[in-house]
Structure 1
Amino acid sequence: MKVMPLEKRMITTSRLVYGCMGLGGDWNEAPITEENIRQAEEAIDAALSIGITMFDHADIYKRGKSEQVFGEVLKRRPQLREKIVIQSKCGIRFPEGEIPQRYDFSKDHIVNSVDGILHRLGIEQLDILLLHRPDPLMEPDDVAKAFEQLKKGGKVKHFGVSNMNAAQMRMIQAYVEEPLVVNQLELSLKRIDFLEEGVLVNQKAAANVHFGDGIIEHCQLETIQIQAWAPLANGIYSGREMELQTETDKRTKALVTKLAREKNTTPEAIVLGWLMRHPAKIQPVIGTSHPERIRKCKEAIQMAETMTREEWYMLYETSRGMRMP
């Protein structure tokens, strides 16, 4: 079977994605401020300065304010829209009174969510829409109708998912004509279950790994772009001031620091480069709102291209806390 190269299905050439969850102030319903807009613009400019041209949103981030401040930046700099790819997600609904937080993949909710996203961003078309988390009550035919309406109406170019396993993607794809182009998952040097799932085949230790069999391989075979949320693992190995709780974390941070020093780069570039070294061409979604930390990710692509197999395995084995089986 001949598989289409992943690069031919990529919606953007940006190897890194900027995640906009940190923009927009607090997680409350207070209106956005000029300070929020200024901070968003600084973060966006920092991302652009290191070659990032893809920006990731979700309708729930800061209760819609992340999209709103981004839209304000676009309003003031309309020329920016043609230079970037904008992705957002829908499907999570917050608690309302006695109604709990839930997921909603109904046709009406998906379509209405996109209308809200476009309004807050101040744009006419979303480049990519992702379904945020699996809805146990999903009717795939309903999803198909929503996608068809959004595509025909010119409101969304491409579709994808987030936090889904291979079977869930196959279920949706069986009903949806448009190819799924993205699956966004939590992957990092700290969250290594995506590797352990394969390495521990036929091992007793596999009983403690619950990532989802075959997700990575399915995405590679179907040329679905894998994106990694929380790729820096909240900065645990790359400079964030925190007390490390385990000896494994301490050794991993020490190794990351040592490699960064030897290669004259940043710990952030090492951590991201390790993730991007994987043959699936994983796209890290950088979530920090601090411009300087965004800029510290600049050399991640170079680290991915130059990291040796031995260095990659050193980091992997140190993070897993035991020798390879």
Structure 2
Amino acid sequence: MRTIKLGTSTLEVPVIAVGCMRIKSLSKPDAERFVQTALEQGANFFDHADIYGAGTCEEIFADAIQMNDAVREKIILQSKCGIRKGMFDFSKEHILESVDGILKRLRTDYLDVLLLHRPDALVEPEEVAEAFDLLESSGKVRHFGVSNQNPMQIQLLQKYVKQPLVANQLQLSITNSTMITSGMNVNMENAAAVNRDGSVLDFCRLNDITIQPWSPFQYGFFEGVFLGSDKFPELNQKIDEIAAKYEVSSTTIAIAWLLRHPARMQPVTGTMNLERITDCIKASEVHLTRQEWYEIYRSAGNVLP
């Protein structure tokens, strides 16, 4: 599979990250098949979070991949922390405790990447910096990043955190593309999208922070999947038309649309279906034309200024 550098690091990662949020829904044999199917196709970057399945998803994954030292050398593990019941918590104590729990559940000595999951209004960046220093010096975490953060929040952290923040996981899909739309509606009186994220797309590009789009098939927050939905007839017609041209599935084209953006993104899949994960991985081989990218964008109801 095609690879990219993750942020400013030297870590070479596949352009598709395999999200494990739903692995709890699989039986043990199915989980094993899912993980092996991904690995066989070069998708060895696995995304986790300590809240997925209340931590059980990490345990299920470790069982499914039959974690040992030899296996660990062949995969890249990313997990997230900072969400607790009814609150967010970026305190030093919670970050350190969370990572220890993650490592225990994944049966590994280290994470390749740790992300702070959602912005904590009470964040004290000096504490985050202390936690990151301890995690790096102990070898428990090799690279650090954030999730769902805007430029000012990242800059505030980076003022104190000496490690480069290499990734920002953000919600982005063809139908949830306000970070793209707002950038094309500069100084427009009736802009199709208000800039609510501080131009995070351009900020990440300027600072070599890899954007990891989550829920690449969702519309709304978690309202449903746009592929095959009667709410998006024009979009599905266009995607199907382009999929036929490339002799791939609509799933492949939806991911290829994200990969076509020059920000060099790394979409995070969420499917547990063997056929769909294979179709997602195939997107790394499809390069849409500029015209096709815009046709898909407009067919989702986006209006050019």
Normalised by the length of structure 2, the TM-score is 0.92
Aligned to 2:174: 189
Aligned to 2:272: 289
Aligned to 2:37: 46
Aligned to 1:316: 297
Aligned to 1:22: 22
Name the structure where helix makes up a greater proportion of residues: 1
For residue 82 of structure 1, report the CA deviation from its aligned partner.
0.8
Q: 1:81 aligns with which of 64, 72, 81?
A: 72
For residue 299 of structure 1, report the CA deviation from its aligned partner.
2.0
Aligned to 1:37: 28
| C-alpha distance in structure 2 between counterparts of 1:10 and 1:289, whole Å | 29
| C-alpha distance in structure 2 between counterparts of 1:65 and 1:20, whole Å | 11
Aligned to 1:152: 137
Q: 1:55 aligns with which of 46, 49, 57?
A: 46
Residue 238, structure 1, aligned to residue 223, structure 2: no
Pair 1:105–1:230, CA change in 2 (3 A): same
| C-alpha distance in structure 1 between counterparts of 2:137 and 2:68, whole Å | 28
For 1:53-106, what per-residue CA distance to the aligned partner results, in whole angstroms no more than 9, with x for missing partners? 100000000110110111213445653211110000000002xxxxxx110000
Residue 142, structure 1, aligned to residue 127, structure 2: yes
Asked if the contact 1:43–1:290 (Cα under 8 Å) also holds between the matched residues in 2, the reply is yes
Q: Secondary structure at the match of 2:15?
A: coil
Asked if the contact 2:81–2:117 (Cα under 8 Å) also holds between the matched residues in 1, the reply is yes
Which amino acid in the other structure matches residue 112 of structure 1? E
Q: 1:214 aligns with which of 185, 199, 211?
A: 199
Asked if the contact 2:114–2:145 (Cα under 8 Å) also holds between the matched residues in 1, the reply is yes
Q: Secondary structure at the match of 1:21?
A: coil
Residue 229, structure 1, aligned to residue 214, structure 2: yes
| C-alpha distance in structure 2 between counterparts of 1:153 and 1:273, whole Å | 38
Q: 1:112 aligns with which of 74, 80, 97?
A: 97
- Unaligned runs of 5+ residues in structure 1 are 26-34, 95-100
For residue 11 of structure 1, report the CA deviation from its aligned partner.
2.3
For residue 7 of structure 1, report the CA deviation from its aligned partner.
7.3
Pair 1:258–1:11, CA change in 2 (3 A): same
| C-alpha distance in structure 2 between counterparts of 1:263 and 1:281, whole Å | 21
Which amino acid in the other structure matches residue 60 of structure 1? I
Asked if the contact 1:182–1:224 (Cα under 8 Å) also holds between the matched residues in 2, the reply is yes
For residue 127 of structure 1, report the CA deviation from its aligned partner.
0.7
Asked if the contact 1:12–1:85 (Cα under 8 Å) also holds between the matched residues in 2, the reply is no
| C-alpha distance in structure 2 between counterparts of 1:209 and 1:11, whole Å | 35
Asked if the contact 1:17–1:286 (Cα under 8 Å) also holds between the matched residues in 2, the reply is yes
Q: 1:176 aligns with which of 161, 169, 174?
A: 161
For residue 213 of structure 1, report the CA deviation from its aligned partner.
2.1
Q: Secondary structure at the match of 2:211?
A: strand
Tell me the C-alpha RMSD between the 2 structures. Answer: 1.9
Aligned to 1:162: 147
| C-alpha distance in structure 2 between counterparts of 1:318 and 1:259, whole Å | 12
Larger displacement relative to structure 2 (288-297 or 51-60)? 288-297
Normalised by the length of structure 1, the TM-score is 0.86
Q: Percent identity?
A: 41
Larger displacement relative to structure 2 (110-119 or 217-226)? 217-226
Q: 1:269 aligns with which of 228, 245, 252?
A: 252
Asked if the contact 1:131–1:161 (Cα under 8 Å) also holds between the matched residues in 2, the reply is yes
Asked if the contact 1:12–1:54 (Cα under 8 Å) also holds between the matched residues in 2, the reply is no
Larger displacement relative to structure 2 (6-15 or 213-222)? 6-15
Pair 1:89–1:7, CA change in 2 (3 A): closer
Q: Secondary structure at the match of 2:268?
A: strand
Pair 1:6–1:78, CA change in 2 (3 A): closer
Which amino acid in the other structure matches residue 108 of structure 1? E
Q: Secondary structure at the match of 1:160?
A: strand
Asked if the contact 1:197–1:213 (Cα under 8 Å) also holds between the matched residues in 2, the reply is no
| C-alpha distance in structure 2 between counterparts of 1:221 and 1:238, whole Å | 32
- Unaligned runs of 5+ residues in structure 2 are none
Residue 201, structure 1, aligned to residue 192, structure 2: no
Q: Secondary structure at the match of 1:204?
A: coil
